[in-house]
Amino acid sequence: METKSDDLPSWVNSPTKREIVSFVSSTAGDGPDHVPVEERVAVFDNDGTLWTEKPMPTQLHFIVQQWAAAARADPSLAEDEPYRSVLAGDFSWLGTAIDKHYAGDDADLHQIVGALLKVTEGMSVEAYEDAVHEFYRTARHPTLGRPYNRVVYQPMVELLRYLEANGFACYIVSGGDRDFMRPMTVANYGIPPERVVGSAVGLVYEEGEVRYGSTFGFLDDGPEKPVRIWSRIGKRPLLAVGNSNGDMPMLKYVQKHPRSLSLLIHHDDDTGRGDLPYDTGAEDALASAHTDSFTVVSVKDDWASVFPE
CATH number at 224 reads: 3.40.50.1000
Q: Is residue 6 part of a domain?
A: no
Q: What is the mean pLDDT of the chain?
A: 93
Torsion 196-198-201-203 (CA) sign? positive
Residue 44: which residues within 8 A CB-CB, separation 6 or more? Answer: 50, 156, 160, 170, 171, 172, 173, 240, 241, 242
Q: What is the pLDDT of residue 2?
A: 46
Q: What pTM was estimated for this model as a whole?
A: 0.92
Give the C-alpha separation, 119 to 283, whole Å. 32
Domain assignment present for 246? yes
The reported pLDDT for the residue numbered 91 is 75
Is residue 94 located within the same domain as residue 190? no
Would you call the peptide bond into 82 cis, given omega within 30 degrees of 0 as the criterion? yes
Do 96 and 178 lie in one domain? The reply is no
Judge whether 88 lies within some domain.
yes
| CB 270, CB 255: distance < 8 Å | no
- Tell me how far apart the alpha carbons of residues 85 and 71 are, in angstroms, rounded to a whole number: 11
Q: Which of 231, 266, 274 is nearest to 247 (CA)?
A: 266
Least confident of 89-93, 135-139, 227-231, 284-288: 89-93
Query: Does one domain contain both 168 and 267?
Result: yes
Residue-number span of the structural domain to which 155 is assigned = 15-54+151-302
